[in-house]
Chain A
Amino acid sequence: MLATLNAPISENSLQVVYEYPESLSPVVTHYCPGCTHGIAHRLLAEALDELGLREKTILVAPVGCSVFAYQYFETDGCEAAHGRAPAMATGLKRVQPDKIVVTYQGDGDLVSIGAAEILHAAARGENITTIFVNNAIYGMTGGQMAPTTLPGQKTTSSPFGRNTTMTGSPIRMSELLANLDGPAYIVRRSLHDVKNIRKAKKAIITALKVQMAGLGFSMVELLSSCPTNWGIQPEKALEWIEDNMVPYFPLGDYKVRDEVNGL
């Protein structure tokens, strides 16, 4: 180890093992410390690079913390109305089926206000890819209850903890959409540790391949952290995902059509 450190550094011995993805724009992040949106962005950018899709991709950003998602990607992009990203993506994709159209949506956007749009895009087997970031809370508006907020979880609009008698129980969207015939690929992954992050990236690559092959709707749900609005330290937030979210939102493959395995 010491010997290696003391050895003279020559040009030839340098290897690039890690670099900024071409599909990721060199901008300063606006996300909070410890937020996993940054990881999700990077995984999507790496996947686009590895599949050579940057020049044909159109990213549809949601309303929520990732409202500026289009600023982070070196692809064409747009900003949909709250919840309507799958509808806007449908318009974009139908008129140019040769392009890759990706929606990036949070839990408020996708599960609450945009429930109809995602459900019908999935049911139609719309050939788009959705990255669904589930952090069990409304981030941008300052920590209100989301449709994925866990029972008993305190938020600024459920100050006594989510009461499921009054507000219903969290919606498991991957399971729900997997019941439809339209989707080709629906999986849930988590961003709480390195092993799971690697699995998440593999899933994003598969989802994009599903779209490239024209197999239909694909979605990767990513369990994510929101230290700021959960009111806990970033490291603890990752543990909170594992301890609280994963049991309620089990990781796994909910819909993998046979053709997907051949990709």
Chain B
Amino acid sequence: MAKELLKGNVAIAEAALRAGLEAYFGYPITPQTELLEHLSRRMIQLNRVFLQAESEVASINMVYGAASAGVRTMTSSSSPGISLMQEGFSYIAASDVPCVVVDIMRGGPGLGNIQPSQGDYFQVTRSAGHGDYHPIVLAPASVQEAIDFTVLAFDLADKYRHLVMVAADGQIGQMMEPAELPPMRPIRAERPEWALTGAKDREKNIITSLFMQPEEEEAFNQQIQARLKVIKKNEQRWYEYLTEDADLLVIGFGTAGRIAYSAVEAAREKGLKVGLLRPQTLWPFPEDRLSELADQIRGCLVVEMNAGQMIDDVRLAVSGQVPVSFYGRMGGMIPMPDDILTAIEETLTRLYSAAGLPI
């Protein structure tokens, strides 16, 4: 298929539909609304389910219902709406039903604003509401990745019967780039054997998150943890650029990651030995690769559009081997390549002088 100039939000919506999305439930919120609007037209045209819910709380519970029926289903929102969905995430997590949630992050806390932010990193990676769980979190940095990761999200959700989030920000949702959409996949004809389809010629199926006996609840939690371990082993994804000889590794995801790419290019033009690691999965975090790179670099510079959230995962992965510094903007402010370049130069200066090396 040829490349088209596509807006991130529209591209995600169309990619989901082509990945076999059967039911979408959502509530308008800037900066993700075009996603909902696109599906409000396309899903109805294709005779699939589209419903504008009364709240994000209702959206996610409608998704829970549709997912329990064994269809490919999703919702999308932005930070304040994702906060409201946490309850539903927890029930979905505890029910082993697959679904996809798109978060087009905006400035916070509170109502905040509608400008791009990455302030949901903790919210999406640490748990799904209450309880021990991690959704799989994919972080696109371009419209093409937004498309590819949306399709991947559905496949991973089904593969692991897991909650998968696509965490982008307002910039990726709003920007247009040339990108290629995937071919239309048919709607899945079969329903999984665990789905709630009516107990005809089989035992009844129950989907519940309630385990009153602590022994039973612990055993169920152990199952979740075992699955998370497999996911952690199999699904770490990242993009890497000019790391072979890098003294300083810049680490950023999504929009911050692609802006850092510009800064790394500018640094290289100045002859500075700088590379880039852009995590494409936020959970599982690409800790194995970062841990390897920690053996060959002198330090890291983490760039985020928040007060420093992913930096915790970076510190855990490098495990004290190298110093970790930070450059971030908050409240919907976007870091500029020049500002990151300055941070790169300052960090390198510190690292070299600490090592007694000429700058």
Which residues of A does B touch, CB under 8 Å? 54-58, 60-61, 67-68, 70-71, 73-81, 84, 87-96, 99, 116-117, 119-120
Contacts and interface: CB of A to CB of B under 8 A. Distances in A.
B199 A76 contact: yes
A50 B91 CA distance: 33
Contacts of B58: 84, 87, 90, 116-117, 120
B199 A96 contact: no
B69 A95 contact: yes
Nearest to A70: B206
Contacts of B205: 76-77
| 4 residue pairs, one from A and one from B, having the closest CB atoms | A91-B65, A87-B61, A91-B66, A88-B65
Nearest to B70: A95
A54 B196 contact: no
Interface in B72-91: 73, 87-88, 91
Residue from A57, A79, A84, A88 whose CB has the most chain B CB atoms within 10 Å: A88
B208 interface: yes
Contacts of B201: 55
A90 B199 contact: no
B204 interface: yes
A55 B201 CA distance: 8
B54 interface: yes
A91 B67 contact: yes
A94 B208 contact: no
A31 to B, nearest CB: 15
Contact of B91 (A75, A81, A93): A81
B196 A92 contact: yes
10 contacts: A56-B198, A76-B197, A78-B207, A79-B208, A84-B58, A88-B62, A91-B64, A92-B66, A94-B66, A95-B71
Contacts of B57: 84, 87, 116-117
A119 B54 CA distance: 10
Contacts of A120: 53-54, 58
B64 A75 contact: no
Nearest to B209: A79
Nearest to A98: B198
Contacts, number: 128
B69 A91 contact: yes
Contact of A56 (B71, B73, B200): B200
Contacts of B228: none
A91 B199 contact: no
A55 B199 CA distance: 5
A120 B199 CA distance: 28
Contacts of B14: none
Given A75-B199, A88-B62, A94 B206 contact: no
A76 B198 CA distance: 5
A94 B61 CA distance: 13
Interface in B112-137: none
B62 A116 contact: no
A84 B68 contact: no
Contacts of A77: 196, 204-208
A137 B64 CA distance: 28
Contacts of B64: 80-81, 84, 87-88, 91
B103 interface: no
Residue from B49, B55, B206 whose CB has the most chain A CB atoms within 10 Å: B206
A91 B88 contact: no
Given A70-B208, A76-B204, 10 more contacts: A61-B208, A76-B199, A78-B65, A80-B61, A84-B87, A90-B62, A91-B23, A91-B66, A117-B58, A120-B53
B69 A84 contact: no
Contact of B62 (A57, A74, A78, A87): A87
A95 B73 contact: yes
B161 to A, nearest CB: 15
Residue from B51, B200, B204 whose CB has the most chain A CB atoms within 10 Å: B204
Contacts of B91: 80-81
A67 B57 CA distance: 20
Contacts of A93: 65
A89 B69 CA distance: 10
A91 B196 contact: no
A4 B108 CA distance: 81
B48 to A, nearest CB: 9
B353 to A, nearest CB: 56
Contacts of A60: 65
Contact of B73 (A74, A78, A91, A119): A91
Contacts of A70: 206, 208
A206 B197 CA distance: 23
B158 interface: no
Nearest to A60: B65
A94 B49 contact: yes
Contacts of A58: 69, 196, 198
B204 A75 contact: yes
Contacts of A88: 61-62, 64-65, 68
A112 to B, nearest CB: 14
Given A91-B62, A117-B61, A78 B51 contact: no
B54 A92 contact: no
Nearest to A30: B212
A96 B73 CA distance: 13
B96 interface: no
A68 B25 CA distance: 27
B2 interface: no
Given A58-B198, A76-B199, A84-B88, A91 B206 contact: no
A80 B207 CA distance: 9
Nearest to A92: B65
Given A55-B199, A87-B53, A74 B204 contact: yes
